[in-house]
Each structure stands twice: as structure tokens, then as C-alpha cells.
Amino acid sequence: MDSAAAVSELRETFAAGKTKSYEWRVSQLKAVLKITEHHEKAIMDALFSDLSKPELESFVHEISFVKASCKLALKELKRWMKPENVKSSFAVFPSSAKIVSEPLGVVLVISAWNYPFMLSLDPVIGAIAAGNAVVLKPSEVAPATSSLLAKLFKDYMDTTAVKVIEGSVPETTALLEQKWDKIFYTGNGKVGRIVMAAAAKHLTPVVLELGGKCPLVVDSNINLKVAARRIIAGKWGCNSGQACIAPDYIITTKENALQLLDVMKVELDKFYGKDPLCSVDLSRIVNSNHFYRLTKLLDDDKVSGKIVHGGQRDEKKLKIAPTILMDVPEDALIMKEEIFGPLLPILTVNKVEDSLRIINGRDKPLAAYLFTSNKKLEQEFVTNLSAGGLLINDTALHVAVHTLPFGGVGESGTGSYHGKFSFEAFTHKKAVLKRSFGGDLSARYPPYTPKKGRLLRALLSGNLIFIIRALLGL
């Protein structure tokens, strides 16, 4: 089925009201949950085929994440759907007011390849919970997962309302030519601009989950061993650095840098061994194009001699060892673009407070990290650093807190999701005001007289004494 035909069928389904019922939403959320519970091995196999992703990473970062999202939506859906009663205004007395959450309609989810299962299903869960009809376009860069999702959706989901359309650039282009009620895109800024331009033709709202160079600042007054382990987990333990929230570069003081480096070397050897290219716990680079892109960053003349750990590469395995670079110049290629891989530069400053100037001189990141025991420094970062999310004394874990919105700001994206925020991302908050036929105020209607004017001014001011005086003609 081509894009136009798919959208047409979905619009018919949505117009019939099928997706709006609580029962339909629950049935589809349960179907997604069954997919994760009944096909865990197939999902892990697909993720290994696409990325050599370790089973534990596949379970924790993808399968378990989707399960938790489904279970939360099933638990909270009635409450999310319930109209919210709000206070009315004295100026429209007598009346009642409420906010009704209604589905947007037919929505498009374009997923990414680095977490191809989770980044596909988590937004779809929000779209279904909100009562929309959905097209999912998985990433062709993760073909095994894309193919598996297409099969499982046919087997488990209501395909009159939830569809998977596979393909690459031509298929995505055709999808973007259609009129949608919302587009949710996860990926890079270059494609994000294409998505936004296509959406603008139909005034379609978009959520753009992008990335950027996520900074990590390390103060000197901390437990370096714990910090090093958490940095490694957030960088190389997240898909070998192929994650939008992976730390992109470290900033620390000159005095602290060598101590941090020594501890990180020890911990990296513990985690991945002396020959990390043979480690089964380290994901590979997704394909040869990204492998060459990353080796180009390492082969830049401006980083010559800057590698202080790692640097090994295996083109056949598409693997690059965890690599740390020290004192990389800010105009080097590796500092100009998002790394999205297992390379981690360390920049040094005279004092840790100088890091804010460096970070704020760049595009706003999707995530920023600060390791410190200094409350004053912590507050300065919270107040003066703009990022999609800020995590103190750890990396990446904020993504798992469903009560926090996950999304970018500026170049790192627009809009947010996770938990109830996923439901709201695909929902229109409709204002509903209801009045009785009593209390019809003549001052509202012509002819306008000075007395009516005084009364209306008093009503709009909300001051009860003024209203009484106006009614009495005082």
C-alpha cells in the first residue's frame, strides 16, 4: 500500500471514531505489551543483527523501556483521558469550564536506527494512548528491526488504524508529502529541517527529537571512581556512544584531567578488557558509512597526537575501541559536529566555572551533565545552562524518569515526550465553556450606556465591591 492510500484508510478509521474509545486504546497498548513479552528473543536477535547490541543493553534500554511505557499508559490512561475541570471567570458567571483531551487525528512517527525498537514504539505508545491513528516509519539503517516491527504489527495490531511503512529516502519523502495531524521525528538536525519544511506546507505541528554535542563537566571535589564508571556507562554503555544523550565531550580543570583519565583507563579495562575490539559487551558501529565518518574525525590533522587511550579500529567488525582524546582544539572537526560514536574528547580549563562559557557558546544540547559536590556550582548550572535536560552526578538516567519531560531545546529539538508527556504530545487540549440560560446580563448588549459601561468595567475587574456599586448605580 502506498502512502496516500495508507493515510486515506487511516483517516476513514479515525473519522469513524474507532480510535477514540478507551477500549480500543487499551487493546492496542496490550498488543504492544504482548509484542515485547512474547518476542523478546526475536527483538534481541534483530538488535544484534543491526548493531551487535549486547543482550543486557537490548533488554534494559529497549525492551524493558517499552514494557514500562506500556504498563504506565495502561495504568494511567483513564486519568489522562478524564476531562480536567478548571475554574471559570466571574465575568462569565454562571458557567463551568473544563479542558478535554482529544486526539489530533492521523500522525506519523519517523524513528531512528540507534535504538530502533524503543525509539519506534515509545512514541507510538503515546500516539495510541491519545487515541490517534498512526503510521510508523522505522529506520532503514536498522533493517532487521524494521522488518520485525512490520511483521509484528501485522500480527498483533489493528492495521486499519496502526501501520508500519518500511523503506528509505523515497518512501520517507512520499510520506512527508501527505497531510498529517502531527509528525514525530527522531534523528539529526539536517533531516529535522527537511521534516519541518515538509510539515510547514500543511501547517502540521512537529516534535523533533534531535541531538547535539552533550557536554559533561567534572569538578575536582568528587569520587572520581564512581564518576568514571558512570561516564563510561553513559558513553560506551549506551550503544557504544551512538546515542543522542551520550556525553559528547568532557570539560574539567587541567589539574583534574590526568587523574580522571587514569581512573577511566582502569575502569575501561575492567569493563571491556585489554582488547576491547573483541568485547561482546561493546556494540559495533551501525554501518560502514558511520565507521568512516568516525575514523575521519580521528584522522583529522588537528587531533594528531591527542589520543591518550584507545584508538584501535577494525573495519571488518565495524568496531572502534573506546577512545579518549586530551586537549583537542575547539576548531577540530571532532568538536564541530556531533560525534555519535565511541570517541570522547577532554577539554581543560583553568577553573571549572569557565566551562559554562564554552557550553553556552555552542548550540543548546539535548542533555548536559555535571559531576560536583559544590551546591553553588550546581545551582549556577541549573540557572544558567540551557539544555533539554540536566543531570547531576550521573549520565543518561534522566531518560528513564517518566515524570520528567524528555526533549530538546533550540538546535537539539522541539517538543517532548515520555510518560504522560507522550500522551500530551499527541493530544489537543480543547477548551470547553458551558453557560446556563440564566444570568443573561443586559449590559452586554447595545445600546451601550454609561451605566452599562460602569457595570462591565466592574465585572471585568473582578472586584466585588465595584460590581455592587455599579449595580446600585453608585
Among the listed residues 57, 62, 70, 209, the single catalytic one is: 209
Could you tell me where the DSSP H helices lie in 201-241?
224-235
Backbone angles phi, psi at 392, to 5 degrees: -100, 125
Q: How many helical (H) and strand (E) elements, i.e. helices and strands, does the chain have?
A: 17, 20
Q: Where are the alpha helices (DSSP H) in 39-179?
A: 40-51, 55-57, 64-81, 118-129, 143-156, 169-176
Grid cell digits, residue 384: 544558567
What does each C-alpha distance from 178 to 14, 29, 153, 207 come to in angstroms?
16, 26, 22, 17
Among residues 70, 214, 238, 244, which one is catalytic? 244
* Element (DSSP H or E) covering residue 207: strand 206-209
20-26 long-range CB contacts below 8 Å, 24 or more apart? 20/102, 20/103, 20/131, 21/131, 22/77, 22/78, 22/81, 24/131, 24/158, 24/161, 25/77, 25/128, 25/129, 25/131, 26/74, 26/77
- How distant, in Å, are the alpha carbons of 188, 341, 380 from that of 247? 16, 10, 20
209 is catalytic: yes
Cell numbers of 443, please?
A: 449590559
End-to-end CA distance of the chain: 73
**Ordered DSSP codes for 346-413:** EEEESSGGGHHHHHHTSPPPSEEEEE-S-HHHHHHHHHH---SEEEESSSSGGGG-TTS-EE--GGGE
% helix, strand, coil for the chain, step of 5: 50, 20, 35
Closest CA to 389 of 410, 405, 411, 371: 405
Peptide bond between residue 138 and the one before it cis (omega within 30 degrees of 0)? no
Q: How far is residue 374's CA from residue 381's CA, in Å, rounded to a whole number? A: 11
Residue recorded with cell 543486557: 56
**What is the three-class DSSP state of 321?**
coil
Residue 210 CA neighbour count, 13 Å, CB half:
27
- Give the list of residues 6+ apart from residue 88 with CB closer than 8 angstroms, or none: 95, 96, 97, 433
Cβ contact 104:426 at 8 Å: yes
Beta partners for 162?
134
Tell me whether strands 95-103 and 427-435 are parallel, antiparallel or unpaired: antiparallel
**How far apart, in whole angstroms, are the C-alpha atoms of residue 101 and residue 325?**
50
Residues tagged active-site: 209, 244
